[in-house]
Amino acid sequence: MADITINISTRELLKQYAEKYETADFINGDPSWFMHQVSGAKNQEAMAFIAASLSYGSRQQFMKKIQLMLDWAQGDVDGWVREGRYADHLHQGDKSCFYRLYTCDTMYRFLSTYQQLLNEYDTLGDYVRSKANDTLGAVDAICRYFGSRGISVIIPKDTTSACKRVCMFLRWMVRTNSPVDLGLWADFIDRRSLIIPLDTHVLQQSERLGLITSKTASMTAARKLSAVLATIFPDDPLKGDFALFGHGVNS
């Protein structure tokens, strides 16, 4: 899929940025911080999924909302969802705003659907494992489950869009040997299949670097960019996510 030639200086610069910025310090102020605040694989997975799902708009604002949910769960995020304890704080039919486009009712229905999935499959990882063996299949499986239950305002209904937040969650779940990512799903999804979490900013930045020519942040563009990053980081394309972050900080 990669048909773009990257010059040597850009390759070396991105490799340097990847090494410099993929450190434990990266999580400070990043939504990935929350999954490091809970114990146990189930809690980390659940916290990561909720944090990723809320990560859009103003970072200062969505981080407060993720923290609120962590506080409500008192660290037991998996049990909080699985046992329906979110209903102590969020109520069906409550149209008051929770965060931007998400009403309290939206969040209630999102968590109810997630609870149903946990009761059916035990974990989100077990659900994905039963449906997919690569990243695109995993994104599609997550989108189909939530989209078919009317939760597309939070989880895209299909993989037409870049599905940035789902791809970010999958990076957290799949990549190993990282001070940031958890690698909980590394045994059934190959990190070489990961897809860059793509938004307009990353797209424009990648275009300036000559990595991509696409103008729209679609899944097609995300996969093309991921293929280009795989020519720089063959065994671990999403090291490029940290590289692009570093380039953004320094440009």
Task: Give the pLDDT confidence score for residue 249 in this predicted structure.
Answer: 84
Residue 4: per-residue pLDDT: 62
Please name which of 21, 17, 75 lies closest in space to residue 46, comparing C-alpha atoms.
75
Q: What is the pTM of this model?
A: 0.96
Specify the pLDDT at position 194. 98
- Burial (0-12, 13-18, 19+ Cβ within 10 Å), 241: buried
| Angstrom distance (rounded) from CA 249 to CA 22 | 13
Which DSSP state fits 152? T
pLDDT at 3: 55
Measuring CA to CA, which residue among 203, 193, 69 is closest to residue 132?
Answer: 193
pLDDT in tens, the chain (251 residues): 555 677 789 999 999 999 999 999 999 999 999 999 999 999 999 999 999 999 999 999 999 999 999 999 999 999 999 999 999 999 999 999 999 999 999 999 999 999 999 999 999 999 999 999 999 999 999 999 999 998 989 999 999 999 999 999 999 999 999 999 999 999 999 999 999 999 999 999 999 999 999 989 999 999 999 999 999 999 999 999 999 999 888 76
**101 CB burial (10 A radius; 0-12, 13-18, 19+):** exposed
* Exposure class string for 213-240: b at 16+ Cβ within 10 A, else e: ebeebbbebbbbbbbbbbebbeebbbbb
Q: What's the pLDDT at 250?
A: 79
